[in-house]
């Protein structure tokens, strides 16, 4: 949703997810072909990871710039869940010029959503693995936010869907841009293209609050009890009920 909202702004190009770092760094939970991926075989060069990763990353950034220019935009954004893990790579690549947006959500709702969406090759299959996945991604993003508060912003999913315009005005102010009503108006326009992350939002006609507290109907009391100890250290300080 936020990817489409940003891409709807007249100044910002934010395409569907491009699995750059996840692919090159082998961050899939189960990949029988991992040994044959570029990120594995390129290590035969004997170069430090940061060198070849930034060489490819520079090419990706130039491609983003070209694509943004073709789209008539002057800025670009990359949306990927694993950016929370790889934010340090991005920050090095962009020379400290990056604006980092961390979207947080009740982790129980995220786990319920993971069960619905599938993507069994991308996310862990077991409940504990999914809870650890959500915890570790969020903790990594929060760590960067704490270290770089002037260049980082935490956006709560719940506020984004219940008070959208206020949340987006704050977000755009952080980015040094003006809120544009096209961000919401174009949420379901064809201009966004179709990506890995789009099937669920395509089923809604607008910004929906229907997924808030979905865990109450989708997770059993036993499941909630099992994941609570894995999540508490990260999400209780954020005042989420778990």
CATH architecture, domain defined by 2-12+78-238: 3-Layer(aba) Sandwich (3.40)
Q: Which residue has the higher pLDDT, 179 or 196?
A: 179
Torsion of CA 28, 34, 38, 43, to 10 degrees: 110
Residue 2 tokens, joined: 């936020």
Q: Give me the count of residues in the chain.
A: 242
If pLDDT is split at 50, 70 and 90, which confidence band does 200 have?
low
Ranges of each domain in the chain: 2-12+78-238
Q: What is the pLDDT of residue 206?
A: 78
In this predicted structure, the answer to whether residue 32 has a pLDDT above a threshold of 70 is yes
Interval 34-59: pLDDT, tens: 888 899 999 999 999 999 999 999 99
Cβ-proximal residues to 38 (8 Å cutoff; 6+ apart), any chain: 23, 24
Segment among 84-88, 104-108, 123-127 with least mean pLDDT: 123-127
Question: Averaged over 14-22, what is the pLDDT?
Answer: 94
Interval 69-91: pLDDT, tens: 999 999 999 999 999 999 999 99
Torsion of CA 26, 84, 169, 178, to 10 degrees: -60
Question: Averaged over 207-221, what is the pLDDT?
Answer: 93
Q: Which residue has the higher pLDDT, 208 or 172?
A: 172
In this predicted structure, the answer to whether residue 219 has a pLDDT above a threshold of 80 is yes
In this predicted structure, the answer to whether residue 197 has a pLDDT above a threshold of 80 is no
Q: Which residue has the higher pLDDT, 134 or 31?
A: 134
In this predicted structure, the answer to whether residue 1 has a pLDDT above a threshold of 80 is yes
Mean pLDDT of the chain: 92
CA 213-217-223 angle, 5° bins: 95
In this predicted structure, the answer to whether residue 201 has a pLDDT above a threshold of 80 is no
């Amino acid at each position: 949703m936020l990817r489409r909202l940003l891409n709807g702004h007249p100044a910002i190009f934010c395409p569907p997810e491009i699995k750059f770092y996840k692919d090159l760094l082998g961050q899939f939970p189960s990949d029988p072909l991992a040994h044959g991926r570029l990120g594995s075989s390129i290590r035969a060069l004997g170069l430090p990871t940061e060198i070849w990763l930034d060489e490819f990353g520079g090419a990706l950034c130039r491609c983003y710039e070209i694509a943004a220019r073709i789209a008539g935009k002057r800025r670009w954004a990359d949306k990927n869940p694993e950016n929370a893990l790889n934010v340090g790579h991005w920050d090095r690549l962009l020379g400290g010029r990056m604006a980092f947006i961390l979207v947080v959500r009740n982790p129980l709702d995220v786990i319920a959503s993971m069960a619905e969406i599938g993507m069994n090759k991308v996310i862990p299959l077991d409940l504990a693995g999914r809870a650890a996945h959500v915890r570790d991604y969020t903790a990594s993003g929060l760590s960067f936010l704490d270290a770089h508060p002037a260049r980082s912003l935490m956006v709560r999913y719940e506020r984004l869907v219940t008070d959208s315009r206020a949340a987006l005005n704050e977000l755009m102010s952080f980015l040094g841009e003006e809120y544009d009503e096209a961000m919401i108006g174009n949420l379901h326009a064809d201009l966004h293209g179709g990506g890995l992350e789009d099937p669920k939002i395509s089923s809604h006609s607008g910004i929906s609050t229907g997924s808030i507290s979905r865990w109450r109907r989708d997770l059993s009391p036993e499941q909630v009890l099992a994941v609570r100890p894995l999540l508490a250290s990260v999400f209780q300080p954020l005042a989420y009920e778990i």
